[in-house]
Chains A and B, each alone.
Chain A
Amino acid sequence: MRILLVEDDPEVARFVRRGLTEAGHAVEHRDNGRDGLFAAAGEPFDLLVIDRMLPGGVDGLRLVETLRGQENRTPVLFLTALSSVDERVRGLKAGGDDYLTKPFAFAELLARVEALGRRPAAEVPATRLRVADLELDLLSRSVTRGGKRIDVQPREFRLLEHLMRHAGQVVTRTMLLEKVWDYHFDPQTNVIDVHVSRLRQKLDRGFDKPLIHTIRNAGYMIRAEDAA
C-alpha cells in the first residue's frame, strides 16, 4: 500500500516508517500539517496516518476535514496523545476512520493500517465467508467446518465473522473489543483471550489443523495454513 504518514515527532515517524516499510508498504512522510495536506490532496494514497496535533498551522483535524471537504475519501488513521473518549469522537466526526492513542505497540498500528487499507474489499456484500474448510453463512448465520455444523453463540459468530473478514490479517485484542463488542474500555484481564480460545476450541474439535492463530505480542489471525 502507498501510505502517507504525517507526524511531527521524528523518532515516532522514523519508527513507524521503518515498521510499515518492513511490512511491505511504501511510506511518504511529512512533518507538518501544511505539507501533509498538500501531499494528501496532490497524490493518490491508499491510506493516511495522521497525528492529531501538528505544527504548521494545519492540525490533524483540519487536515482531514479539508480533505473530506474536497471529496477525498482516502481512509484516515489518527495517531494521538489525546486519549479521552471525547477526543476520539471528535476525530471520527472530522472524518477519521480509526483512532490510535499513543503510546501504541507497532503491531497494533500495523493491524489497524492493514484493516483500513483493505476495507473496500470487505464492503462488497458477501453472503458467505470461507477460510480453508471453514464456512460462515451470513444469511442463515451458521458455521460449518468440513461440512460439519458447529454451534456458536451470537457473539462468537460476530467474533468469527470479524476474524474471517480480515483473514490473513492480524486483528488485535482492542480491535476485537471495539469492533465485536463495540465498547471502548480496559477489560483489566485477558477476557478477549478467553473468548477467542473458547471459539478456537469449538472450531478445532475433531480437526488437526488449527485455524485461529495467536500472533505473539499482537493479536490473532485466521488463515488456512499454519505458516508460522
Chain B
Amino acid sequence: MVAGQIRRAPVPRLVDSAGFRFAVFFAVMFLLGGVAFAGIVWWNTAGGLDRQTDAAIRADVAALVQRFRQAGREGVEEAIAFRLLRDGDAQDLYRLTDSTGRQIAGNLDATPDELDGPPPEGEPLRWLRAPLVREGSLTEARLYRADLPNGDRLIVGRDVEERLRLRELLGRGLGWAASASCLIALIGALLLRRALQSRLRPAAETVTSIAQGDLTQRVPLSGREDEFDRLGRALNAMLDRIGTLMAGVRGVSDAIAHDLRTPVARARGRLEEALDGDAETMRRAIETGLADLDGMTRIFQAVLRITEAEAGARRAAFAALDLTPLLADAAELYEVLAEARGAALAAELPEALPMTGDRDLLLQAVANLLDNAVKFSPAGSTIRLLAGVSEGSLRITVADEGPGLSPADRARAGERFFRADSARATPGYGLGLSLVRAVAGLHGGELVLEDTHPGAVPPGLSATLVLPADVAPAAEA
C-alpha cells in the first residue's frame, strides 16, 4: 500500500500536486498584482480625464450664472457667443432657452429629453452623457443643466469624443498588458511547478527505490544548502539510522543462523547419542547439554547487547561517571586472572576521568579487551591498561605482548563471529570485539587496533577505545 502511494508520488494528479497548487497561487498573486496596477492606472488616467471634464463644465456654469446675476440674459448670451468664438477645437457645447423652450443662444440645437421638463431634484440628475450628431458624425457629449433664476434653462457641455478615443486607446493598451501578464503568470507558474518537481523528484525516487527494498540509495544533494538540501540531509540521516537498525536485526538473525546452529547441533547429537548409553553416559550428556544451552544463552545475550548498543537504544542509561574507579575495578578483576596464567597486569590510571556513558556497557567493553589480552598473553608477559585524555578525547588502551593481529585480520576484527585463525585454539565466540566496537560507537567513539611493539616479534596487540571527552582537563593525564 505504502509502496503504491509512494510510487505515484513523482507524477501526482494535477490537483493533488503541491507543485500545481504553488503554481496556481503564484499565478493568482501575479495576476492580482497586475489587476491592481491596471486599476490604479485606469483611475488616474481615464477617471482623471472624466473628472477634469466635469470640473471644467462646473466652472463654466458657475461663471455663466455669475454673469447672469451681473448682466442678465444678455450678458449670458454675450458670454456664450464669445466663448464659442474663442473655442478653436469646437469642443464646447452651449444652449440657452427661455421658459418656453425657445433657443436664445448656443450651438446645441435640441434639448435632450432627459434634461427637459421641470428643474430636477438632485444634482446627479442634472448631469447627462448622451450621443450627439454633430456635423453629420456621431459623437458623445457630457452635458450639465442649470436653471437660471428667470426660468431660462442653460445647458453647458463638452464634446468628449476625443477623450473617449484616448480612453479606448488606454483600455486597449491595458488589455494587451493583461494578456501578456496572464501569459507570463502561466509560464511562471509552469516553471515554478517544474522547478519544484525537479527538486523533489530525486528524493521521491530515492524513497521509492528504498520502499522497493534498496536501502543503499541516498537522496542526492544539490550542494546549495537550501531547504531541499536540508530535507534531503534529514532524509539521509533517517535512512542511515534505519540502515543501522536493519543491520542490527540482521546481526541477530546472523547469530541465529550462523553461530547458534553449531552448538544446537552439537547438543542435539550428544543427547541423541546418549539415548542408547548407560546411566552415566546419559548423565554426562545432560550436563554438557545444559552447558551448551548456557553457552547459547550467552551468545544470545551478547548479540542482543551489541544490537542494543548499535541501535543506540541504551542511551537512556547514560549517566555522568568517573572512569578511573571503573577501570581500577576492571583491572582488579582481571589482574588475578592474568596472574593465574603467569602474566602480569599493570594499570596506569589518572586521578579522575569524568565522562558520560553507560557504566555496565563500558565495563563490559574494557572487560572484553582485558579478557582477550589475558587469553592471548604468553606467560611472563605484561598486559598494560592505560587511560588518559589527549586531543580532546579519552583514550583507554589495553596493550598485550601476544601474537597480535595481521593487518587483514585487524580490519575484520569486530565483525560478528569473526575469529582470526590464530585464535581458533582459544575459547570464544568471536563477539567480544564487536561488542567493544558497538559500545564505542554508542558513546560516539571508536576502537583502534595497533601493534603494541611495531616491528617486533611477536608485535602484541594494542586496543584503544577512543571516546569523546566530556570535560577537557587543563593538564594531560
Contact = CB atoms under 8 A, between A and B. Distances in A.
Nearest to A181: B329
Contacts of B428: 188
B333 A187 contact: yes
B364 A185 contact: yes
Contacts of A188: 367-368, 371, 428, 432
Given A183-B360, A185-B363, A188-B371, A86 B317 contact: yes
Interface string B285-326: 001001001100110011010001000011011000000000
Contacts of B314: 84-86
A184 B363 CA distance: 9
A186 B314 CA distance: 17
A194 B317 contact: no
Contact of A183 (B297, B316, B329, B337): B329
Interface string A81-100: 00111100100000000000
A180 B416 CA distance: 31
A181 B363 CA distance: 11
B30 interface: no
Contact of B317 (A85, A185, A186, A191): A85
B363 A191 contact: no
A189 interface: yes
Contact of A186 (B308, B364, B375): B364
Interface string B332-375: 11101100100000000000000000111101100110010011
A195 B358 CA distance: 25
Contacts of A85: 314, 317, 358, 360
A177 to B, nearest CB: 9
A183 B337 CA distance: 18
A198 B313 CA distance: 38
User: What is the interface residue range for chain B against chain A?
Assistant: 20 to 34
Interface string B184-218: 00000000000000000000000000000000000
A181 to B, nearest CB: 6
Contacts of B340: 194
Contacts of A69: none
Which of A83, A181, A188, A190 has the largest count of B CB atoms less than 10 A from its CB?
Answer: A188
A105 to B, nearest CB: 7
A189 B337 contact: yes
Contacts of A128: none
A198 B332 CA distance: 13
Contacts of A103: 293, 297
Interface of B: 287, 290, 293-294, 297-298, 301-302, 304, 308, 313-314, 316-317, 329, 332-334, 336-337, 340, 358-361, 363-364, 367-368, 371, 374-375, 428, 432
28 contacts: A84-B304, A84-B313, A85-B314, A85-B358, A103-B297, A181-B329, A183-B363, A184-B360, A185-B360, A185-B363, A185-B364, A186-B302, A187-B367, A187-B371, A188-B367, A188-B368, A188-B371, A188-B428, A188-B432, A189-B371, A189-B375, A190-B337, A191-B333, A191-B336, A191-B337, A195-B336, A198-B336, A217-B287
Given A85-B360, A187-B371, 17 more contacts: A84-B313, A84-B314, A85-B358, A89-B317, A105-B294, A155-B332, A181-B329, A184-B360, A186-B298, A186-B301, A187-B333, A189-B337, A189-B375, A191-B334, A191-B336, A194-B337, A198-B336
